[in-house]
Structure 1
Amino acid sequence: MNIRKLPIGIQSFESLRKENYLYVDKTEFIWNLVNLGKTYFLSRPRRFGKSLLISTFKAYFEGKKELFEGLKISELETEWKKYPVFHFDFNGKDYSGSSSLAAVINSHLESWEKLYGDEKKERSLEERFAYLLEKAYEKTGLGCVVLVDEYDKSLLESESEILESNRRLFKGFFGNLKKCDEFLKFTFITGVTKFSKVSIFSDLNQLQDISLYDQYSSICGITQEEMEKTFVPEIQLMAQKNDLTFEGCLEKLKEMYDGYHFSRISEGMYNPFSLIHAFASCEFECYWFSTGTPTFLVEKIKSVNFEPKLLTSDELAIDTNSISDYRSDNLDPLPLLYQTGYLTIKKYDKEYQQYYLGYPNKEVKYAFLKSLVPIFYSPADTCDALFIVNFVKDLRLAKIDEVLNRLKSLFARLPYSTKNDDSVIEQNFQNVIYIVFMLMGQFVNVEEHYSFGRADCVVQTKDYIFIFEFKRDKSAQEALNQINEKKYAESFNCDKRKLFKIGVNFSSVEKNICEWIVE
Structure 2
Amino acid sequence: MKYPIGIQDFEKLRKGNYLYVDKTDLIYRMVTEGSYYFLSRPRRFGKSLLISTLEVYFRGMKEFFEGLRIMELEKEWAEYPVLHLDLNTEKYATGVDLENKLDLFLKQCEAKYGKNPDEYSLATRFEGVIRRASEKTGRNAVILVDEYDKPLLQAIGNEALQDDYRNTMKAFYGALKSMDRYIKFALLTGVTKFGKVSVFSDLNNLRDISMLRAYESICGITEEELYSVFEEDIRALGKENDMTEEETKTRLKELYDGYHFNEKCVDIYNPFSILNTFVNKKFGNYWFETGTPTYLVELLKKNKSSIEELDGIEIDGKMLESIDTTSQNPIPVIYQSGYLTIKGYDKEFETYILGYPNKEVEKGFINFILPFYATLKNKNSGFEIKSFVKEIESGNTDAFMKRLQSFFADTPYELVRDLELHYQNVMFILFKLLGFYTQAEYHTSEGRIDMVVKTQDYVYVMEFKLDGTAEEAMRQIESKDYPLPFECEGRKLVKLGVNFSNEKRNVERWIVSF
Instruction: Give the TM-score taking structure 1 as reference length.
Output: 0.91
Q: For residue 277 of structure 1, what is the aligned residue in structure 2?
A: 276
* Contact kept in structure 1, 2:376 and 2:406, CA below 8 Å: no
Report the counterpart of residue 434 of structure 2 in structure 1: 440
User: SS of 1:32's equivalent?
Assistant: helix
Per-residue CA deviations over 1:351-405 (Å, capped at 9, x if unaligned) read 1111111111122122322343343234685671211111112222232222222
* Counterpart amino acid of residue 206 in structure 2: L
CA contact (8 A) 1:345 1:356 kept: yes
Quote the residue 1:173 is aligned against. Answer: 172
Question: 1:41·1:207 contact (CA, 8 Å) conserved in 2?
Answer: yes
Q: CA deviation at 1:456?
A: 3.2
Other-structure match for 1:59: 56
Paired residue type of 2:341: T
Return the offset for 1:151. Answer: 0.5
- Residues 374, 380 of structure 1: 8 Å contact kept: no
Once the 2 structures are TM-superposed, how far is the Cα of residue 297 of structure 1 from its aligned partner?
Answer: 2.3
| Distance verdict in 2 for CA 1:302–1:505, change over 3 Å | closer
- CA drift at 1:233: 2.4
Match in the other structure for 2:131: 134
Among 409, 412, 428, the alignment partner of 2:409 is: 412
Give the paired residue count. Answer: 509
Contact 2:317 2:350 in 1 (8 A): yes
Q: Is 1:512 aligned to 2:499, yes or no?
A: no
CA contact (8 A) 1:505 1:516 kept: no
Check if 1:430 corresponds to 2:424. yes
Q: Deviations over 1:39-90 (max 9, x none)?
A: 0001111121111111111111111112111111112112211111111111
Aligned CA distance change for structure 1 residues 257 and 515 (closer, same or farther; 3 Å): same
Residue 367 (structure 2) aligns with: 370
Corresponding position of 1:460 = 454
Gaps of 5+ in 2: none
Q: Aligned partners of 2:128 and 2:84: how far apart in 1? A: 16
Structure 2 CA distance for partners of 1:106 and 1:425, relative to 1, 3 Å: closer
Q: Distance in 2 between matches of 1:192 and 1:404?
A: 40
Question: By how many angstroms is 1:480 displaced?
Answer: 4.8
Aligned AA for 2:400?
V
Between 139-148 and 483-492, report the one with greater CA deviation: 483-492
SS of the residue aligned with 1:81? coil
Q: 1:25 touches 1:72 (CA, 8 Å); kept in 2?
A: yes
Question: How much has 1:113 moved relative to structure 2?
Answer: 2.1
CA distance 1:454–1:219, change in 2 (3 Å): farther
**Greater CA drift, 141-150 or 498-507:** 498-507
Q: What percentage of residue pairs aligned between the two structures are identical?
A: 46
SS in 2 for 1:15: helix
Is 110-119 or 45-54 further displaced after alignment? Answer: 110-119
Within 1, Cα distance between the matches of 2:377 and 2:96?
Answer: 34
Aligned-pair distance for 1:250?
1.4
Gap change, CA 1:241 and 1:398, over 3 Å in 2: farther
1:333-352 to 2 correspondences below 5 Å: 333-352=330-349
Indicate the residue corresponding to 2:70 in structure 1.
73
Displacement of 1:162: 3.2
- Give runs of aligned pairs for residues 214-253 of structure 1, distance below 5 A: 214-253=213-252
2:512 aligned counterpart, secondary structure: strand
Q: After the TM superposition, which residues 8-407 of structure 1 pair with which residues of structure 2 at under 5 Å, given as runs?
A: 8-120=5-117, 123-158=120-155, 159-312=158-311, 314=312, 316-378=313-375, 384-407=381-404
Alpha-carbon distance change, 113 to 474 in structure 1, aligned in 2, over 3 angstroms = closer
1:468 is paired with a residue of what secondary structure? strand
Aligned-partner residue type, residue 356 of structure 1: I
Amino acid at match of 2:512: I
Structure 2 CA distance for partners of 1:271 and 1:197, relative to 1, 3 Å? same
Question: Which residue identity does 2:33 align to in structure 1?
Answer: L
Q: Contact conserved, 2:237 with 2:278, CA < 8 A, in 1?
A: yes
Amino acid at match of 2:452: V
In structure 2, how many angstroms separate the alpha carbons of the residues matched to 1:101 and 1:213?
A: 31
Distance 1:179 1:241, change over 3 A: same
Q: Which moved more, 1:451-460 or 1:363-372?
A: 451-460
Corresponding residue SS for 2:194: coil
Relative to structure 1, the CA distance from residue 309 to residue 445 in structure 2 (aligned partners, 3 Å threshold; closer, same or farther) is closer
Q: Aligned partners of 1:411, 1:241: CA distance in 2, in Å? A: 42
Does the 8 Å CA contact 1:120/1:131 hold for their aligned counterparts?
no
In structure 2, distance between residues paired with 1:203 and 1:365 = 37
- More deviation in 270-279 or 30-39? 270-279
CA distance 1:204–1:489, change in 2 (3 Å): same
Letter aligned with residue 246 of structure 2: E
Task: Tell me whether 156-165 or 77-86 shows the greater mean CA deviation.
Answer: 156-165
Kindly provide the amino acid, as one letter, of the partner of residue 369 in structure 1: I
Query: What is the CA–CA distance in structure 1 between the aligned matches of 2:494 and 2:236, rounded to whole Å?
Result: 41
Distance 1:283 1:485 in 2: 50
- Letter of the 1:391 counterpart: F
Which amino acid letter does the alignment assign opposite residue 423 of structure 2? F
Residue 488 of structure 1, CA deviation:
5.3
Q: CA RMSD in A?
A: 2.4
Query: What's the offset of the Cα at 1:416?
Result: 4.0
Counterpart contact for 1:377–1:415, Cα < 8 Å: no
CA distance change for structure 1 residues 166 and 247 in 2, over 3 Å: closer, same or farther? same
Q: Secondary structure at the match of 2:84?
A: strand
Q: Are the equivalent residues in 1 in contact too, given 2:464–2:473 (CA < 8 A)? A: yes
Deviation at 1:173, TM superposition (A): 1.5
Q: Aligned in 2, Cα 1:445/1:232: closer, same or farther, shift over 3 Å?
A: farther
- Give the Cα separation in 2 of the matches to 1:486 and 1:346: 34
- How far, CA to CA, are the matches of 2:57 and 2:24 in structure 1? 9
| TM-score normalised by L of structure 2 | 0.92
- In the TM superposition, residue 493 of structure 1 has moved relative to its aligned partner by 5.8
SS in 2 for 1:174: helix
Which stretch shows the higher mean deviation, 430-439 or 366-375? 366-375
SS in 2 for 1:99: helix
- Pick closer, same or farther for the CA change 1:491–1:239 going to 2, 3 Å: farther
The answer to whether the Cα contact below 8 Å between 2:144 and 2:188 also exists between their aligned partners in 1 is: yes
User: What do residues 268-312 of structure 1 show as CA deviations (whole Å, max 9, x unaligned)?
Assistant: 211112222222223322222212323332332232222212224
